């Protein structure tokens, strides 16, 4: 998808991916697990990936820097910027990856994460909109839904573990 095709006729960005998970934990805890680098390091990325670099500066204008290591040992550096933080309700951030030889990302995705609590449970909704991509990363882009789904599975496990010591 190109930047131009990410725009609808109304000029609004079109969501490329919307995922929802209901977590058996209070919203404050879910928000903390999403934003604390010690937790993010455990859940970010698909199954089998680790994060030897995980820096999260959770404030508007703050940077996100994560390097994932695949099961084959290959490193996948990524970055991003936080745009909006409404604790514990909403996070908006841009994630970038696959830099070219000049350091320009070949992929940019605008992510919005909302947290809604009801009855001690939290509904997390992730909306990811591809803002920029290049043809050479089409295969990686095709795996975005699977990658986020697996990350959210790891996230749910991290929340469950954290909830054990929350109360």
CA distances from 66 to 37, 49, 82, 99, 120 (A): 10, 12, 13, 13, 31
Instruction: Inform me whether the pLDDT recorded for 85 exceeds 60.
Output: yes
**Unique residue bearing structure tokens 């820097």:** 65
Confidence of residue 108 (pLDDT cuts 50, 70, 90): very high
pTM of the predicted model over 0.95:
no
Tell me the average pLDDT across 73-100: 96
Beta bridge partners of 55: 65
Q: Look at 12-21, 77-86, 115-124, 158-167 and tell me which has the smallest mean pLDDT.
A: 12-21
Confidence at residue 96, expressed as pLDDT on a 0 to 100 scale: 96
Tell me the average pLDDT across 119-124: 96
* 3-state SS, residue 147: helix
Confidence at residue 122, expressed as pLDDT on a 0 to 100 scale: 98
End-to-end, the C-alpha distance of the chain in Å comes to 44
User: How many domains in the chain?
Assistant: 1
Instruction: Inform me whether the pLDDT recorded for 7 exceeds 60.
Output: no
Tell me the average pLDDT across 30-39: 97
**Domain harbouring 71, CATH code:** 3.30.530.20
Rounded to whole angstroms, the Cα distance separating 44 from 154 reads: 8
Confidence at residue 3, expressed as pLDDT on a 0 to 100 scale: 39
Rounded to whole angstroms, the Cα distance separating 34 from 90 reads: 11
CA distances from 97 to 12, 31, 66 (A): 23, 24, 10
Its domain, for residue 131, covers 4-164
């Amino acid at each position: 998808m190109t930047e131009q095709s990410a725009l609808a006729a109304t000029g609004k960005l079109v969501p490329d991916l919307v995922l929802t998970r209901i977590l058996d934990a209070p919203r404050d805890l879910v928000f903390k697990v999403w934003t604390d680098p010690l937790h993010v390091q455990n859940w970010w990325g698909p199954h089998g990936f680790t994060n030897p670099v995980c820096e999260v500066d959770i404030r508007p204008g703050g940077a996100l820097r994560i390097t994932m290591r695949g099961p084959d040992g290959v490193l996948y550096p990524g970055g991003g910027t936080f745009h909006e933080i409404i604790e514990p309700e909403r996070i908006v951030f841009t994630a970038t990856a696959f830099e070219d030889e000049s350091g320009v990302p070949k992929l940019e995705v605008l992510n919005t994460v909302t947290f809604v609590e009801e009855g001690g449970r939290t509904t997390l909704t992730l909306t990811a909109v591809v803002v920029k991509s290049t043809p050479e990363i089409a295969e990686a882009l095709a795996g975005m839904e699977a990658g986020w789904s697996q990350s959210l599975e790891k996230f749910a496990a991290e929340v469950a573990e954290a909830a054990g010591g929350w109360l």
